[in-house]
Structure 1
Amino acid sequence: MPTRLTPNTDVQFVPATSDGNGLYPPSITPPDQPLGFFDFLRQFIANPLRGLPRQVYEEDLTLYRPTKKLTVLWVSGPAIVEELLVGKANLLVKSPLEKQVFAATLGDGVLTSDGALWRWQRRVMAPLFRHNEILSYVPTMAQVAEEQVTEWRRAFAGSQAIDEQMMTSTFKVIMRTMLVGGDRSEGEAIMRGGSEYLARVSWEMAHALLHLPTWLPHPASRQMRRASQTVRSALSDIITRRRQSAVEGTDLLARLLNARDPDGGEPMTQDQLVNNLSTLLEAGHETTAKALTWTLYLLARAPEWQQSVRDEVNRIVGPTSIRAEHIDKLVLTTRVLKEAMRLYPPVPVVARQPKEAFELAGTPVPANAQIVVPIFAIHRHRKLWKDPDRFDPDRFLPDRETEMARTQFMPFGAGPRICIGQSFAMIEAVTLLATFVRGARFDWDGEHLPEPISRITLRPKGGMPLTVTPIL
């Protein structure tokens, strides 16, 4: 049976500590019991992670009914997550809350659609994400990373906005590998618009949670509408120009332009093309950027691990550019990335809604329930991890990782809707991180303690300033 909870109001941010026992980076202290509805809503707008009660970090299934109309089921146990996302995948649809949140930017793209439309779009995009195809992009990824190192060398040592620089680097990778044809101003407009939209997304989520009519504005409505228009307009211009130029290619845009509906043979409409390109750009570069941002922060706080990564890169790669054959050999670098994504998963929460009532682990689930898989909490679950709040990349040594349940560590989700770009993201992240750490030293300023804030992706409150000293 699930744990049933009553309201409480105690919730706080936990700053980092570092002592002889290791690094305990910033986290959230959950309330002992769930918040009352209006307190929950207030914290949800500030940071949805503050609404996760302690039981979500300790139990397998937690039921929360703050109002007669709202039923939330938090699913934290790996076996039940597996039953939900794999065994009962055909009984689930994307959460209407998520659909409303992304309606203005992603429409019915591969991330938000269901049924036949989702299957067709995913099938069209899948070939671009084959492992061997992605490895061919490593030289481009390495070039982008080296350009960023060159910028740091020009600036000499000093404080850098690492979160912004990671966004720029990962966006360049996407533009050069999957969206050939966009110019610099369009790229900057897309990146800026997407970031501005996500920064205010909790208002839209709260609006949807309250079942308010979509025509009723909220405090961020105007800014979010303007941001989404910026993104979609720039993408539409790129698509139109690519069609007119008749340039052939194998990038994502070329594949989408050539895609045909398997039933009627129709090509994607302009809106469908914009939806899917927007999905790739919003989900593709933002998540990797956040993974790199948190990883560099952790390495700045744990300089012994930073030096270990640097030593590995120098030993395996040397002074040359990283190539495809290096990726699988950078095992310690990969372990560090995985541990960073455990502590700070790029997408901290996954939500679904049943198409009809069903039973999950013996618990009746009504058709209108909000089913939430709190990846952030699963990755810090007291039953699943020893000393879960401590930074320890050795958790992902091969013999330890093989003992983990498939849904114990799930930075890319699980089941049929697992992130289509997970292999791309890992190869990109390893390439960029290895190049960055070989080329520069990263130090914490001794002051900034970033609270992890869920804005669909996991953002550091106040950004991520780190002191960067180039290694010449």
Structure 2
Amino acid sequence: MDSSAQNDRTLKTTFPLTPQSTLATLLAIVRNPLDALPPSVFTEPLVFSKSAGELKVYLADPALIHEALVKNAEALGKGDQVRRALGPALGQGLLTADGAHWKWQRQSVAGAFRHDKLLELQPTMIAAARRTRDRWIGVGNGTVDVSHEMMRTTFDIIVETMMSGGHGIDVGRVEKGISDFLKPTGWTFALGLLHAPEWIPYPGRGKAEAAVAFLRSSLLSVIEERRKHPDGRHDLVNMLLSASDPESGRRMSDREVVDNLMTFITAGHETTALGLAWTFGLLARHPQIEGKVLAEIDVVTMGEPVDAEHVSKLVYTRQAFSEAMRLYPPAPIITRTALEDFELGGYLIPAGTVMIVPIYAVHHHASLWSDPEAFDPDRFSPEAAKARHRYAYMPFGAGPRVCIGNAFAVMEAVAILAVLLQKVRLTTIEPEPPKPVMKVTLRSNRPQRMNLILR
């Protein structure tokens, strides 16, 4: 008998299941998938459960997350749940594809996210933030919906940097379209759990399908125009149009280019906007921390308008944004499906098992963070970050499929925070903070309206 077979005999193949009612789980998923997490994932390293006949493994231990997502990356796929929820909009783009198709697409766009390329984009980020600042100054002392404002600002940036202006895309309709698409995703997750037929109607399905049709057709018109009138612009559209598979030499079809533009426009602006909205809310509720951020901006800029050279020096501002993303990770749960049997933490995980990394729970885990519900940017000082396991903090996912735009997002967020905070102050209206609700991304359960005070 070979050693691997002998090793397999020593692996545990029975699992300590945490009871979960299928009906209760389904109802929670429809309302807010965060509520469907077993409470023990906030205190235990590894939790097994079964619902609708499907084995689920929740990983909250950084070492086990690394073992699963990095060491066993080849044994895991995105799975049917992700395909059902995101496939209609994102097709087989970078976020949803698997295997060789994912790998060559990732290689195709990697050049757009090199550090030197990102530095070239900083002036565009700052210009968009200034447009928002000037719009707010025009409002004067009034109220703004900071979630909507950040969506508008980050969309402005993604369109300018990735599509060289977007050829007249209707920003308001795109923003509404993304919300209409994401709103009923709880239903798609719940029906996927039941392996229900994909044609089954559910609340919001019609609006979601109309939104997807509008979004994809808008981007297709951009691509068709660029193919008719090619130019030398160094943006993502041209990079995708010229990309070729290093093995087969084939290029992306229009559909595949749309898949990837949809991925970057939805995931790329939505997550940063949400992180910024949560950050503004937290700073407003913690004036001492806000004061430290403002003091840093004043020292770094010496009272001058924020410019590209200042962004990398705003260390504490970046820490505040990082801490906001710990408390409110934009992508709060990631899932994978085991494509084959593999070993994890002394267990033999069978093919078909759904692996769940509840990033929200990991970021609030009692064994990983002291006083986990407190807002404390000092957790992200260089010394504190170095002492922590790399997979204790995963605002952009983890492993080979970590978000390719993570450095872009952080740079963008720091620039926007600095430009806006230098001239305006936001204060809360509601006595209690909004509740986080997962609609693929982590949104608030109500509009985040805040008082705007000019400095």
TM range (shorter): over 0.9
Task: Indicate yes or no: 2:76 matched with 1:63.
Answer: no
Q: 444, 449, 454: which one pairs with 1:460?
A: 444
For residue 6 of structure 1, the aligned residue among 19, 29, 33 is 19
Aligned partner of 2:93 among 93, 109, 117? 109
Shift of 1:307: 1.8
Select between 242-251 and 340-349 the one with higher mean Cα deviation.
242-251
SS at match of 1:399: helix
AA aligned opposite 2:320? V
Query: Structure 2 matches for 1:51-450, cutoff 5 A?
Result: 51-67=36-52, 69-450=53-434
Q: How far apart in 1 are the matches of 2:406 and 2:305?
A: 23
Task: Structure 2: give runs of 5+ residues left out of the alignment.
Answer: 1-11
CA distance in 1, matches of 2:345, 2:135: 53
List runs of 5+ in structure 1 lacking aligned partners: 8-35
Deviations 1:156-179 (A, max 9, x none): 112210000000000000011111
Q: Please say if residues 379 and 385 of structure 2, whose CA atoms lie closer than 8 Å, have aligned partners that are also in contact.
A: yes
Distance 2:188 2:160 in 1: 32
Give, in whole Å, the separation in 1 of the partners of 2:387 and 2:129: 34
TM-score by length of 1: 0.91
**Residue of structure 1 aligned with 2:30, choices 33, 45, 49:** 45
Q: How far apart, CA to CA, are the structure 2 residues paired with 1:198 and 1:279?
A: 13
Letter of the 1:459 partner, please give it. Answer: R
Tell me how far apart the structure 2 counterparts of residues 445 and 320 of structure 1 sit (CA, whole Å): 30
Of Structure 1 and Structure 2, the greater helix share is in: 2
Contact 2:281 2:433 in 1 (8 A): no
Counterpart CA distance in 2 for 1:299 and 1:144 is 22
Q: Deviations over 1:141-190 (max 9, x none)?
A: 11111111111111111221000000000000001111125234434333
1:14 paired residue number: none
CA contact (8 A) 2:240 2:257 kept: yes
Identity of paired residues, percent?
37
Once the two structures are superposed, what CA deviation does each residue of 1:283-323 show, in whole Å capped at 9, x if it has no partner? 10000001001000000111121121111111102344433
How many angstroms does 1:394 deviate by? 1.1
* 1-structure distance, mates of 2:141, 2:171: 28
Secondary structure of the residue aligned to 1:384 is coil
Separation in structure 2 between the aligned mates of residue 113 and residue 321 of structure 1, nearest angstrom: 42
Could you tell me how far apart the structure 1 residues matched to 2:447 and 2:55 are?
A: 34
